[in-house]
Amino acid sequence: QVQLVESGGGLVQAGGSLRLSCAASGRTFSIYAMGWFRQAPGKEREFVAAISWIGGGTFYADSVKGRFTISRDNAKNTLYLQMNSLKPEDTAVYYCAALGKRGSYYWPNPSEYDYWGQGTQVTVSS
């Protein structure tokens, strides 16, 4: 099992920045890739970004490309999401997720992921 705990959410004005963190513990050696998703009230969970845990390759949703940066620190078993130029439509609960085994995946599909954090609220005011 892998446990994930997010932090770093909060309230920020439009145009501002936040950095989210996701600390992984447990069987971290099994992590193949990790991702960030978000869910706004009344909407489905939406893919934000993903990263290969070993190679570092990244993939972003078009809506955040150029504004958000996903990164990881393997030594600290921590995933990050740097969010710049935030917009009110970025308001959501942000979740980190992990793929627990090697394979071929469609990273934007939340059902592919094995482990999830509890989420952290991000609110962007206009």
| Residue, of 70 and 100, whose pLDDT is higher | 70
Supply the pLDDT for residue 104. 81
C-alpha 78/C-alpha 58 separation (Å) is 15
Task: Report which of 25, 8, 4 is spatially closest to residue 17, judged by C-alpha positions.
Answer: 8
Supply the pLDDT for residue 120. 98
- pLDDT band at 106; cut points 50, 70, 90: confident
Supply the pLDDT for residue 51. 96
**Cα three-residue angle 100-74-35, rounded to 5 degrees:** 50
Q: What are 34-79's pLDDT values in tens digits?
A: 999 999 999 999 999 999 998 889 999 999 999 999 999 999 999 9
Pair of tokens at residue 82: 């740097």
What is the biggest distance separating any 2 CA atoms in the chain, rounded to whole angstroms? 41
